[in-house]
Chain A
């Protein structure tokens, strides 16, 4: 199993450009989420999904869109990139079992994004 795969690993954008960060998992996990990592701020939740077709906002959703058409994929779209979106982005997946919950998040390797 590859686990959680993120592409690209690095990206440089100009202000106003749009792009999609890809995230795919091959573990059949129900839950997927996107975090951004900024110095001094820790990880902050952008959007999350509890299953195909179901998404919701996290703490810092402005400027980002998500969709979940399949269990495996959870892309993050930057609509019009701004310098404030310069960050490292992490995708994560997790699952629960009947009668118990498993709270271990499986993270991707991250995408380092710079917006000039």
Chain B
């Protein structure tokens, strides 16, 4: 069965420091991976998806099929990046129909 693992439950960095949130997955097919973010008092929302190869709010994530990883990175963290981050996997090989497998989540705190 597919699985998404985020090994860090909590991650603390100082403002301006680089940050990397780890995500590993287990899936035998061609996965589609996403990062969702939940800021304080806001709804869970899509941050970025690997298929778009985009940079959102300075964050990037590269799919590494050899290491089965999809780590989220930002070179210079900002206080407003403090949030809960979820890595998610679509294993349907197409439309997920709203079914994603989520990791356990990482709470990122950026200190001033």
Contacts and interface: CB of A to CB of B under 8 A. Distances in A.
Interface of A: 31-33, 35, 40-45, 48-50, 58, 90, 92-94, 96, 101, 103-105, 107-110
Contacts, number: 64
A106 to B, nearest CB: 8
B95 A58 contact: no
Given A43-B86, A108-B43, A103 B49 contact: yes
- Chain B interface category by residue count: 20 to 34
Interface of B: 4, 6, 9, 32, 34, 36, 43-46, 49, 86, 88, 90, 94-105
27 contacts: A31-B97, A31-B98, A32-B98, A33-B98, A40-B104, A42-B4, A42-B6, A43-B44, A43-B88, A43-B100, A48-B97, A48-B98, A50-B98, A92-B98, A93-B98, A101-B95, A103-B49, A103-B95, A103-B96, A103-B100, A104-B46, A104-B49, A105-B46, A105-B98, A107-B43, A107-B44, A109-B43
